[in-house]
Structure 1
């Protein structure tokens, strides 16, 4: 027996301690979508519904004119030198920056595969397929006028938008200008918290969409089953009529050629009386038709029987596809999984966000 002891599981693993509650909620919501067994994306694909998994990270778009400090702010915020900085134009175009464990540069197609939310950009044919460079030009006088008006009337930046003054802090060269970069970081944190709540709301909407689609699919299947039964009955009825009428017509003329004694000796007295009675009606109706119209009657009668066969074939082809017992059971399991597990996790995460907000406000 070895003297080594089995390591005890840690109650709070390292990953759960170094990540924030918002990040853990986003990751768990993302896992609920991409799970290989019972993921919402997989369930939606089975139902013909297209869902996109929520992002595990928050996207912040930074825009500005030349030398506005976009790259410097990004490097300061992520605490890593990612973007090139300088007096000249060092970076241009669109750049997607994400914080991860390994640094890697991706091309345009790889970025679209990694971030499927940006795939609709491919639909703009005039921008990405044919244009090599897209320039958006603003007159310099317009930019100068905006700055001058804001300097003359500082209260304008509080009407409809905010324009804080930010710069990269340097302790060796302090400035008397008020730096509002901390307020910008707080705004980003608020956006993160709002994005978590939006993700939970979208999770609930997707769950309701899948459940309603499952219910609609099952209801449609029940209607298809009922319609198929009706179509099969109509097809059977038309087919029987199309076979029985010409058979009775031909059989009546064959039986009329036999003498009653011969027919009794062949099939028996009881069955012979039944055949004579049924075929006698057809022979009587045939004799009632004038001779000049008998050929026309045969043609119309044959067309009617052929039409009945066509109706039988038509009703037989109107059958709709129905679900198997296995598929119905799988849909019911999906619905129970979403109701019992996914929605309960959504409620638990929502309550945790409310508790964190209360703690932040009152403690």
Structure 2
């Protein structure tokens, strides 16, 4: 067994372990530690989006998404078929390559059309903005266990051609939109005529001038066996390189390996084949995705814990402010009561002499006689004093109403929920090291 075949066999054996780590990370976002809590468990996403925390959080995808771009007949569909070991994509027919096709692993062979594909991949929700895309969007599900297919979603893009070939949607804008949402982009160049067609070069230029895509680009010359002579292959490579020179932004890292699909009968071919390099690029992206997802898992747990602490601190401060508002409200209402008592006293003092003229015995009390004596002075300034009292009463009542406006705070049930969220999140965070250990096993490295 050659070294490359032995390496590939090891990677295929470790693929289920890698898939398991990615799936476990996603499960922590969707379901949490199932059965770990007596009251039931919640995923990180539900915890973050709960009414108490109100955070925005997206779960990481459990597969790497790899988009293949190139001119028609560049071998995009053929490579995907070879990678998964199944003729799932039609090849060599221009009309079949006018849309986007997702190729993903599943329990059984199935085909999804546009609407189903949009629902299957939640990140495609905004992809519907491109008029004409839905009828030209498909998903092919395969149970293949070849290579690292369980960890990869392949996206076959429309074949790029010049001339009278028309597309039912804006291909360039659709590819740029997809470039932002995938993990890597493989660009295949056909060595026998269309590699440097105008439309292909426009797409390459646009991708190189689109920041979210630049670091995801990988270039390959496919169908290398279609050019038998070495000097002809070198001439094609030079031609492609010259056309790309002014379009590639990260030219310092530019590399253009040549590959071809190995013959089905296993017959040897004298032409060097870098198809394993394509697979290694995919494997590297898978490993980087695992590391990124583990890092994001830790960061999201830390963000949730920080959010719990913040909302609890804010709630404590809000309760203190509400208490202060109530105290001031009570004070204003007491002042309003005093103002109303003053107004009533003024009215009583104003009309008391008239009452005494009718009921002499009512004025026998010493306090009443005192009020009667000051009644003329009150009568002289009655309108002014009563207006002041009425204004004060209205002012204190209004201030009391305004001040008494308390802000909502957490109930005991809410506080209990937040404590549960903290406990769940800390337990999920504790699983991170175990996931790292599983991931390190997939690398075959000892520590």
The alpha-carbon distance between structure 1 residues 99 and 141, as it changes in their structure 2 partners (threshold 3 A), is closer
CA contact 1:238–1:309 (8 Å) conserved in 2: yes
CA–CA distance in structure 2, aligned partners of residues 140 and 314 of structure 1: 66
CA–CA distance in structure 2, aligned partners of residues 127 and 349 of structure 1: 42
Residue in 1 aligned with 2:431?
345
The alpha-carbon distance between structure 1 residues 165 and 222, as it changes in their structure 2 partners (threshold 3 A), is same
Structure 2 residue 259 is the aligned partner of structure 1 residue 166: yes
The alpha-carbon distance between structure 1 residues 237 and 101, as it changes in their structure 2 partners (threshold 3 A), is same
Structure 2 residue 129 is the aligned partner of structure 1 residue 117: no
CA–CA distance in structure 1, aligned partners of residues 96 and 267 of structure 2: 25
Residue in 2 aligned with 1:325?
412
Find 1:183's aligned residue among 259, 277, 282: 277
Residue in 1 aligned with 2:186?
none
SS of the aligned residue for 2:403 comes to helix
The alpha-carbon distance between structure 1 residues 350 and 135, as it changes in their structure 2 partners (threshold 3 A), is closer
Residue in 2 aligned with 1:134?
170
Q: Following TM superposition, by how much is the alpha carbon of 1:201 offset from its aligned partner in structure 2, in angstroms?
A: 0.6
The alpha-carbon distance between structure 1 residues 247 and 162, as it changes in their structure 2 partners (threshold 3 A), is same
CA–CA distance in structure 1, aligned partners of residues 21 and 336 of structure 2: 67
Q: Following TM superposition, by how much is the alpha carbon of 1:68 offset from its aligned partner in structure 2, in angstroms?
A: 0.3
The alpha-carbon distance between structure 1 residues 290 and 160, as it changes in their structure 2 partners (threshold 3 A), is same
SS of the aligned residue for 1:224 comes to helix
The alpha-carbon distance between structure 1 residues 99 and 322, as it changes in their structure 2 partners (threshold 3 A), is same
> How well do the aligned residues superpose, as a CA RMSD in angstroms?
3.9
Residue in 1 aligned with 2:237?
150
Q: Following TM superposition, by how much is the alpha carbon of 1:334 offset from its aligned partner in structure 2, in angstroms?
A: 0.9
CA deviation string 1:239-264 (max 9, x = no partner): 121122322442476587799xx89x
CA contact 1:62–1:70 (8 Å) conserved in 2: yes
CA contact 1:253–1:283 (8 Å) conserved in 2: no
Residue in 2 aligned with 1:66?
72
Q: Which has the larger radius of gyration?
A: 1
Q: Following TM superposition, by how much is the alpha carbon of 1:43 offset from its aligned partner in structure 2, in angstroms?
A: 0.5
Higher helix share: 1
Find 1:44's aligned residue among 43, 48, 58: 48
Residue in 2 aligned with 1:336?
423
CA–CA distance in structure 2, aligned partners of residues 223 and 29 of structure 1: 36
The alpha-carbon distance between structure 1 residues 299 and 184, as it changes in their structure 2 partners (threshold 3 A), is same
SS of the aligned residue for 2:67 comes to coil
Q: Following TM superposition, by how much is the alpha carbon of 1:175 offset from its aligned partner in structure 2, in angstroms?
A: 2.6
CA deviation string 1:169-195 (max 9, x = no partner): 014654321011112112211211111
Shifted more, 35-44 versus 24-33: the winner is 35-44
CA–CA distance in structure 2, aligned partners of residues 222 and 323 of structure 1: 9
Higher strand share: 2
CA deviation string 1:69-97 (max 9, x = no partner): 00000001011111001264532221111
Shifted more, 102-111 versus 51-60: the winner is 102-111
SS of the aligned residue for 2:45 comes to helix
Structure 2 gaps of 5+ residues are 1-12, 33-40, 135-166, 173-195, 203-220, 222-233
Structure 2 residue 31 is the aligned partner of structure 1 residue 35: yes
The alpha-carbon distance between structure 1 residues 284 and 29, as it changes in their structure 2 partners (threshold 3 A), is farther
CA deviation string 1:258-317 (max 9, x = no partner): 99xx89x9xxxxxx99xx59x97x9998776682x431221122111111111111122x
The alpha-carbon distance between structure 1 residues 107 and 183, as it changes in their structure 2 partners (threshold 3 A), is same
Structure 1 gaps of 5+ residues are 1-16, 266-271
Q: Following TM superposition, by how much is the alpha carbon of 1:19 offset from its aligned partner in structure 2, in angstroms?
A: 5.9
The alpha-carbon distance between structure 1 residues 218 and 138, as it changes in their structure 2 partners (threshold 3 A), is farther
Residue in 1 aligned with 2:177?
none
CA–CA distance in structure 2, aligned partners of residues 140 and 322 of structure 1: 59
Residue in 1 aligned with 2:112?
106
Q: Normalization by structure 1: what TM-score?
A: 0.76
Give the count of matched residue pairs: 327
Structure 2 residue 297 is the aligned partner of structure 1 residue 203: yes
Residue in 2 aligned with 1:246?
340
CA–CA distance in structure 2, aligned partners of residues 30 and 233 of structure 1: 50
CA contact 1:66–1:89 (8 Å) conserved in 2: no
CA–CA distance in structure 1, aligned partners of residues 17 and 57 of structure 2: 25
